[in-house]
Amino acid sequence: MPISYHVRLAEPLKLRPLQAPGYFALALRAIGQDLANLYPCDLAIDAQANGFAVRGHCAKARLEGEAPKREKPPIGELLGKLFRRAAEPARPAPRSEIVEFSRLYDGQEIDRLDQLGARYRTGMNRIPDPRTLGESLRTVGRLLDANHCQLTSLKQFSDRLVIEYRDADDQPQRQEMTNHELYKLQRSYYGNRGTFKVIDKWQGRER
């Protein structure tokens, strides 16, 4: 059964053992916030018995972190470089090397990341930016939690998400969602705190 977008988050959930209310929303937001600085080109999240296995691709410089800062050269050396650059034809910027990364998140790590993020969320009255990785994944988690589903895997590409899950009847399901559909869903939620309204995927298109 496809994930329904017409779900009230306040209704009671039929949870499996050891799964707290809002589990996937919390866990996926924590993972997204942890990976946000990598700006992944793509992302795959696989649910495991004790947590999540994550892999993806990002710029090598992002993975390695910023290079240590060097001492500033003398002013004369800086001026010489500026003059040489002005005389030389412009060169295209070098392309960043893309590399693969992988991480594991168990329950303790999810809790630690959530508590770390709570320090920044405490006292915030503004709506979170729905374009961030953490909020995008959190929205998927909300859908799973509200529909009583269990995540199997989530793949994020530049233009869409592919969600594999087991529904409330424990049947395997697969669903795709474009970034635009996800963004509309987020805007609907934040405009109606606590409720997912029906989203017409075909609005503005010929049926």
Task: Say which range, 51-55, 80-84, 128-132, has the weakest mean pLDDT.
Answer: 80-84
**101-153, pLDDT tens digit by residue?**
999 999 999 999 998 877 666 555 566 777 889 999 999 999 999 999 999 99
Share of the chain above pLDDT 70, in %: 63
Burial per residue of 138-160, b for 16 or more beta-carbon CB atoms within 10 angstroms, e otherwise: bbbbbbbbbbbbbbeebbbeeee
Q: Is 163 exposed, middle or buried (0-12, 13-18, 19+ CB in 10 A)?
A: buried
Burial per residue of 185-201, b for 16 or more beta-carbon CB atoms within 10 angstroms, e otherwise: bbeebeeeeeebeeeee
Alpha carbon distance 68, 73 (integer Å): 15
Q: Answer whether residue 207 shows pLDDT above 80.
A: no
What is the mean predicted confidence (pLDDT) over 28-36? 95
Specify the pLDDT at position 202: 33
**158-191, pLDDT tens digit by residue?**
999 999 999 999 999 999 999 999 988 887 777 6
pTM for this prediction: 0.70
Q: Is 34 exposed, middle or buried (0-12, 13-18, 19+ CB in 10 A)?
A: buried
Averaging pLDDT over each range in 82-86, 159-163, 194-198, 199-203, which range is the top one? 159-163
Contacts of 181 (CB under 8 A, 6+ apart): 199, 201
